[in-house]
Amino acid sequence: MAVDPGLLRGQPLLEPLDEDQLRRVATAARRRHLESGERLFEQGAPAEAFYLVREGAVKLARLSEAGDEKVVEVIRAGQTFAEAVMFMEGERYPVAAEATAPTELVAFDNAAFRREVAASPELALRLLAALSRRLHGLVAEIDELSFHSATHRLVGYLLAEAREGRVRLAAPKQVIASRLGVTPETLSRTLARLREEGLVRVAADTVDIIDADALAARAAGSDSRRP
């Protein structure tokens, strides 16, 4: 399905584009719909596009030869992913992508977008900044996984995702557990402990933060008594 350029206005990555450039990018782009659990692409598949999530969420995961899965990131509405692949030799996706909810996407053709990047230094710098932020986030994640307890990781996730004190879980708990580098059982136990301590309220797909300062203090003290 073709893309209306109006759908792309206001997207930070595309702000440097003038109307003609935006129209060319939109002409080469396509809309995609995925049901929950539907794969967008497989790890190692040829990379012909990068994506903008308009609604829903997509998990990016690395798969081992034995079939084990490690969730690298959960992409939410308003975020883009797989931009870096268009500049990689061989252009193959290093992860698999799967919707964790009914999801609406815009697929940007890599070849068409590279032409616009070559013609727009400002767009190239904006793209470089986006990739740098993504790299910084992954380095911060390595730090979390290497040096902090399960409680610290979960609390950090909740505080980062909260909007007006509420976290809407964009993916099943087992996906979030993999993202945080813990088992689903550990995630459930840690969340239950925080609930028992009066720090959060837990529903099926939301977590309400009762006291953010106390929650942060709980995380800070958890590393000395892992998890």
| Per-residue pLDDT tens over the stretch 152-203 | 889 988 998 888 899 888 788 888 988 888 888 999 999 999 999 999 999 8
Whole-model pTM above 0.75? no
User: What does the pLDDT look like over 118-162, one tens digit per residue?
Assistant: 888 888 888 888 888 878 777 777 777 666 788 888 998 899 888
CATH 3.40.50.2000 fits 5-144, yes or no: no
Q: State residue 87's pLDDT score.
A: 83
Q: Give the model's confidence band at 225: pLDDT under 50 very low, under 70 low, under 90 confident, else very high.
A: very low
Q: State residue 205's pLDDT score.
A: 86
Token digits of residue 210? 């009762």
Domain boundaries, the chain: 5-144, 149-225
User: What does the pLDDT look like over 66-84, one tens digit per residue?
Assistant: 878 889 889 999 999 998 8
The CATH number given to 149-225 is: 1.10.10.10
Q: State residue 44's pLDDT score.
A: 93
Q: What is the mean pLDDT of residues 40-62?
A: 95
Highest-pLDDT range among 61-65, 105-109, 157-161, 223-227: 105-109
The answer to whether domain 5-144 and domain 149-225 are alike in fold is no
* pLDDT at 108 exceeding the cut of 80: yes
